[in-house]
Structure formats: structure tokens, C-alpha cells
Amino acid sequence: MRPDAAAFIRANTTIATPPLIPEIRLHLATEITPIWQASEDALARANVPPPFWAFPWAGGQALARYVLDNPAVVAGRRVLDFGSGSGLVAIAASQMGAAQIVAAEIDDVAAAAIALNAALNGVAVAIETADLIGTAAGRWDVVLVGDMCYEQPLAARLTAWLRALAGMGVTVLLGDPGRSYVPTSGLVAQARYEVATSLELEDRTSRDGIVWRVESE
Ligand SMILES: C[S@@+](CC[C@H](N)C(=O)[O-])C[C@H]1O[C@@H](n2cnc3c(N)ncnc32)[C@H](O)[C@@H]1O
């Protein structure tokens, strides 16, 4: 984990709750442009990934809400939160009694944010920074994916992997607010939530967050 990341996160965020998830507190940014610029300056390098970890994305909020309202989905099970960002979904699964919870996140600043946010909520979350796409099934009973269909190559790789996991008996749930590259078939709606969003981040004041179960095809 980057030694400078935790200090950067504390200095550039406030502790707040996502609109749909009043139970969970996170280190969040209020506006995107200042923290984006600050992360490039303070973390000092070009090619710093966008600070996705500083926002609770609409798809992740819908999925976290679903987990909190339906604890049986995760209770006693080995759970992966893939593309964890702030750690919101992983924290919800941990609070609802997951037997194991791993947050997978390739951005090491996000990994630091997940650790801070888990501690803030008094839960333990293991963090995996390797890219797990393609990893064989067997390690998880449930895979949770919040708002990951925003980029075509990533969504294509991810969808193929999620379908393969579903075919091997893993429960795969995808929270999505209508992103461009969400699969158009092989999804079964489980729940739908109106999620308040900021105009700056989403160009609209709310999004329809749907929790989908991903089928094998
Ligand atoms: C739009 S954010 C969603 C974060 C969170 N799930 C939520 O809904 O608030 C997408 C996150 O996925 C992470 N990500 C992208 N590709 C990944 C990969 N191959 N493995 C793990 N994380 C990945 C990004 O770093 C980013 O934090």
C-alpha cells in the first residue's frame, strides 16, 4: 500500500454517508475536479488513476442497499467485492455477516481508502490488488460487482468472467445504473433503487440503480 495515500485521503475528503446508505460512513469527496487535480499533484505522478474511490457510485449504492436489505445473500458465505472503489459494498457485506470478505481493487490509493473506510465502520475487509479477472472459481460463493460497466474493454472481459463464475455455481450480483456497456442479455433483475447523484458526476440528479443477477449465458 502507498505510504502517502492514507494522508492524502484524510486531507482531501470529508466523512459522509452515501445518499442511499445512511448506515455506512466513508471518506468522500464533495466535488470531482479538485480531488482529481489534487491526486495528480499530491500523489505526484502522471497517470494516477481517477479517484473513483472518493465517490459512492450509483451502481455500488444500489448493490450495497440490496445486501443490507437482504442479508441472507451474504451471511455465512465467502464474498468478493470486485472493483471495490471506496469499499462500500464490501463493508455492507461484512456488516451483514459474510464469512469472508475480500475487496478486489487494482488502484493502490483506493486500497488505502478501503482500509480506512473499513476501520471507520469497525469491520475487517481483506484487500486484493491483483487483477482477478479470469481467476478460477472455488474461492467465493458470492461475487458482488458495483458499477463496473463504464468502459468497453473492461466490461467485456469482466462479463465473460462473471458468466463463467455463474456457470460454476457462484452467485454473481451486478449493481448498475444504466452504464453504456452493461450486458444486454443474461441478467435477471433483483431490485431497483432511485439513487440521488450529483450533477457534476453524473450530469443528472438521480439514476435508476438496478441490481442484476448475472446468469451463465
Ligand atoms: C466506478 S468505480 C466503482 C467502485 C465501487 N464498486 C462503487 O460502486 O462505488 C470502478 C472501480 O473498479 C476498479 N477496477 C477497475 N478495473 C479493475 C480490476 N481489473 N480489478 C479490480 N478493480 C478494478 C477501479 O480502480 C475503480 O475503483
Residue 143, CA distances (Å) to 11, 108, 169, 197 in order: 32, 21, 11, 25
**Is the pLDDT at 3 greater than 70, yes or no?**
no
Q: How high does pLDDT run on average in the chain?
A: 93
Check pocket membership of 96 for ligand 1, CB cut-off 6 A.
no
Output phi, psi for 175, to 5 deg: -95, 125
Atom 12, ligand 1: residue with shortest CA distance:
83
Q: What is the pLDDT of residue 30?
A: 82
| CA dihedral for 120, 125, 129, 135, sign (positive or negative) | negative
DSSP secondary structure, 41-68, as one string: HHS--TTPPP-GGGS--HHHHHHHHHHH
What atom of ligand 1 comes closest to residue 57's alpha carbon?
Answer: 9
**Is the pLDDT at 149 greater than 60, yes or no?**
yes
Q: What is the pLDDT of residue 39?
A: 76
CB distance 83 to 146 below 8 Å = yes
Q: What is the pLDDT of residue 201?
A: 86
User: Which residue is associated with the grid cell 475487517?
Assistant: 124
Ligand 1 center to 161 CA (angstroms): 15
Identify the weakest region by mean pLDDT among 50-54, 178-182, 197-201. Answer: 197-201
In whole angstroms, what is the distance from residue 36 CA to residue 53 CA?
11
Q: What is the pLDDT of residue 32?
A: 77
In whole angstroms, what is the distance from residue 93 CA to residue 101 CA?
7
pTM of the model: 0.96
Ligand 1 center to 158 CA (angstroms): 11
Cell of 30: 464533495
Q: Following CA atoms 80, 84, 86, 91 in sequence, which dihedral angle do they give, to the nearest 10 degrees?
A: -10
What is the Cα gyration radius of the chain?
A: 16
In whole angstroms, what is the distance from residue 214 CA to residue 183 CA?
9
In whole angstroms, what is the distance from residue 179 CA to residue 165 CA?
22
Report the residue among 53, 55, 79, 105 best suited for mutation to probe ligand 1: largest number of ligand atoms under 8 A from its CB.
105
Q: What is the pLDDT of residue 47?
A: 65
Taking only the tens place, the pLDDT of each residue in 91-136 is: 999 999 999 999 999 999 999 999 999 999 999 999 999 999 999 8
CB distance 154 to 148 below 8 Å = yes
**Is the pLDDT at 58 greater than 80, yes or no?**
yes
Mean pLDDT of the 179-192 span: 97
Check pocket membership of 131 for ligand 1, CB cut-off 6 A.
yes
Check pocket membership of 147 for ligand 1, CB cut-off 6 A.
yes
Q: Is 132 buried (19+), middle (13-18) or exposed (0-12) by CB count in 10 A?
A: middle
Check pocket membership of 52 for ligand 1, CB cut-off 6 A.
yes
Q: What is the pLDDT of residue 81?
A: 98
Q: What is the pLDDT of residue 136?
A: 81
CB distance 116 to 6 below 8 Å = yes
Q: Say how many C-beta atoms besides its own lie within 10 A of residue 113's C-beta.
A: 28
Taking only the tens place, the pLDDT of each residue in 20-32 is: 999 999 999 987 7
In whole angstroms, what is the distance from residue 37 CA to residue 39 CA?
5
Report the residue among 9, 21, 28, 84 best suited for mutation to probe ligand 1: largest number of ligand atoms under 8 A from its CB.
84
Taking only the tens place, the pLDDT of each residue in 60-95 is: 999 999 999 999 999 999 999 999 999 999 999 999
